[in-house]
Structure 1
Amino acid sequence: MSAFMSMALSGVFSLLEFGVSWMWLQAWGQSILIALPIAFLLDMVFGEKLRFFSARLADKAANAWP
């Protein structure tokens, strides 16, 4: 999940900055190298708590749905 999110978000934000170009691909490649270890670390630190919170929230939403 951290790999997908770091690639997707760095791609989107660099695309907004540079538009579709060779410069965008270069910036995206560099930003993935920075974003991936950060996303992995955040997932290891906060992942379990966030998954627990999202599961509780999903259960509440499912129970509230008629």
Structure 2
Amino acid sequence: MVVLVLAGVLALVVGGCVCVVWAERGGPRWVRVVATVTLTAGELVRRSRKQRRQSLHSTADSGE
């Protein structure tokens, strides 16, 4: 079951990346929408990782 979920997530990620490339080349409107959603989701993941890293770093510093 976990393998199916991971395969589905992988398919969504690959599809999103394809849409980003296609949108750069002037694809249809729905492709541009999917590309925007993909890029926004990526940015949110990057921000959450950065915040988590900073909070872990500040927690480690305060423990000295």
Q: What's the TM-score, normalizing by structure 2? A: 0.39
Indicate the structure whose relative CO is greater, using CA pairs within 8 Å and at least 6 residues apart: 1
Q: What's the TM-score, normalizing by structure 1? A: 0.38
Larger Rg: 2
